[in-house]
Structure 1
């Protein structure tokens, strides 16, 4: 499903009819809970929204970082919030496969969190070291994947951890192409890139900004993006679909969600405001600079994306028997 298809249905102008249904709200500062540390991509996105949202609501908007468990600690906190002044900024996994990967996750993404808006999307880029034994030079995806298939489990790929988009996405690519590299988890994408530079990995799916920076430095090669077509975030990189890899329309995304118990009229007002902010030229530019293609979907659009991604990734999790370590 394309970002543009998600952006339009059901959106209302901020401050519209839902405003009248929330007398006396907000009565205190609004909190945006983020499951990653200050300076991380989710933190930067949340802070991009905090000032304009504060102006719209007439109350301070505070970003709070509750770090741990890949963002699931923050998601559980938001799911249990009952003050009607707490929302969260989440990554894919927190709203889709969290409890499919780990049955001990204490919240249900589909039941305990209510979608507000899909903020931004980004494909990943299949990358490889510049010079490494048994890894073909050049950027041709067909040649690279043929070598990977021949190598079998002698190759390794890195990700920021079990259940991340990089992990599930590479497992999906393995299923679509017949390659079989071994998974090696790292603390984050920068560490994955460093491991490739050190010759410990033959391949990885990286965010476009990181991949392009390493390419400009002459350290990594960009093989293809995990999207149905070329991405505005990496316009010079062919899609893997162009190399014949079907069914690999894979994106990272981030989104706002509220506790499912928050009154519908308050959720509607928040959604209206967040959509308007996401679609504003200033914020769209900031999101692009942060590595995101801005969307600003309706709650229904985000709900549809959650459902579709949960089904796709859930199948890979089941087929590959992926569990949190």
Structure 2
């Protein structure tokens, strides 16, 4: 709080370094380059989303919008930096399921709180994960996989993108809801997990649909379910988990834009509106759809309600899994 007060005081003295945050701030914004922090390395779907939106915002604002990749600790490093930034709209973060929902339960001492330390602006995307099995596994759908696991407790194995990821915890929710046990094999990312699944080193896996879909269409995997609330246009023939005996199940990764807590309401509203505008541009929608993501672009209040539900949902998954990270 002392740092924020000092920054505001310096801005009042210089008249340029930090503009006043009252009613006139909306018209003055942005006064300088806006930094959009991505709490992961370059090249992934979160980074792509940020860069597409940053390009649109730069056009709209006639100011540079810089994407700054700050990876580390499952998104905690970059998110913590933004939580401590001045609440003037010039520093934002594209948070994800891990950084702003899962990690609150996964890490004993998270250096920020996803709700108390941020202004939720808009949910950007929703990304379907998929349950897949090797074609040699005698399960044509999720119900059959659950029945098979129930008949062979502990004998079936499944791979995930890593401990504490939405991939891992999404399957743990299935196990908890279906009351079955399968041995978890964590990997460092979906690519290596899918490689072992194709080679039958593991029986099943849960990872991003776009990575699994080409292998399924080549006959190397069988897709059993998607983890979204509704079927995805990318593979409409694949039913949801909820359709197959686990009603209410949703465990889909997402991304959303946040600002530091304390942003003036008028500026928060403007940022939310501009972000929604950027996300809903036709070329942005098309690029995201090509990568398997669905644009959400809802309002701040809707996003806050969603975030609270996600924190509770993934907290239950962390508890069921017994996962814990330092």
Normalising by the smaller structure, the TM-score range is 0.7 to 0.9
Describe how 1:268-283 pairs up with structure 2 within 5 A: 268-283=269-284
Q: Equivalents in 2 of 1:114, 1:103: separation in Å?
A: 23
Q: State the Cα distance separating 1:165 from its structure 2 match.
A: 1.1
Describe how 1:203-282 pairs up with structure 2 within 5 A: 203-282=204-283
**Residue matched to 2:115:** 110
Q: Check whether the contact 1:271–1:299 (CA below 8 A) recurs between aligned residues.
A: yes
Q: Check whether the contact 1:233–1:293 (CA below 8 A) recurs between aligned residues.
A: no
Q: State the Cα distance separating 1:310 from its structure 2 match.
A: 1.0
Q: State the Cα distance separating 1:83 from its structure 2 match.
A: 6.5
Q: Check whether the contact 1:176–1:246 (CA below 8 A) recurs between aligned residues.
A: no
| Structure 2 unaligned regions, length at least 5 | 1-21
Q: Check whether the contact 1:121–1:252 (CA below 8 A) recurs between aligned residues.
A: yes
Q: How many residues align?
A: 304
Q: Equivalents in 2 of 1:291, 1:151: separation in Å?
A: 34
Instruction: Establish whether residue 59 from structure 1 lines up as the match of residue 60 from structure 2.
Output: no
Q: State the Cα distance separating 1:186 from its structure 2 match.
A: 1.4
Q: Check whether the contact 1:89–1:254 (CA below 8 A) recurs between aligned residues.
A: yes
Q: Equivalents in 2 of 1:120, 1:93: separation in Å?
A: 14
Instruction: Establish whether residue 47 from structure 1 lines up as the match of residue 51 from structure 2.
Output: yes
**Residue matched to 1:308:** 309
Q: Check whether the contact 1:19–1:269 (CA below 8 A) recurs between aligned residues.
A: no
**Residue matched to 1:323:** 324
Deviates most, 92-101 or 224-233: 224-233
Q: State the Cα distance separating 1:125 from its structure 2 match.
A: 1.0
TM-score w.r.t. length of structure 1: 0.88
**Residue matched to 1:34:** 38
TM-score w.r.t. length of structure 2: 0.87
Q: Equivalents in 2 of 1:317, 1:38: separation in Å?
A: 27
Instruction: Establish whether residue 23 from structure 1 lines up as the match of residue 31 from structure 2.
Output: no
Q: Mark the structure with the bigger radius of gyration.
A: 2
Q: Check whether the contact 1:153–1:180 (CA below 8 A) recurs between aligned residues.
A: yes
Q: Check whether the contact 2:161–2:167 (CA below 8 A) recurs between aligned residues.
A: yes
* Partner-residue secondary structure (3-state), 1:312: helix
Which digits, 9 at most, give the CA deviation of each residue in 1:232-256, with x for residues without a partner? Answer: 2321212223322223122111111
**Residue matched to 1:199:** 200
Which digits, 9 at most, give the CA deviation of each residue in 1:243-288, with x for residues without a partner? Answer: 2222312211111111113333322221110011212222211211
The counterpart of 2:101, out of the listed 63, 87, 96, is 96
* Partner-residue secondary structure (3-state), 1:23: helix
**Residue matched to 1:82:** 86
**Residue matched to 1:9:** none
Q: Equivalents in 2 of 1:122, 1:324: separation in Å?
A: 24
Distance 1:229 1:41, change over 3 A: closer
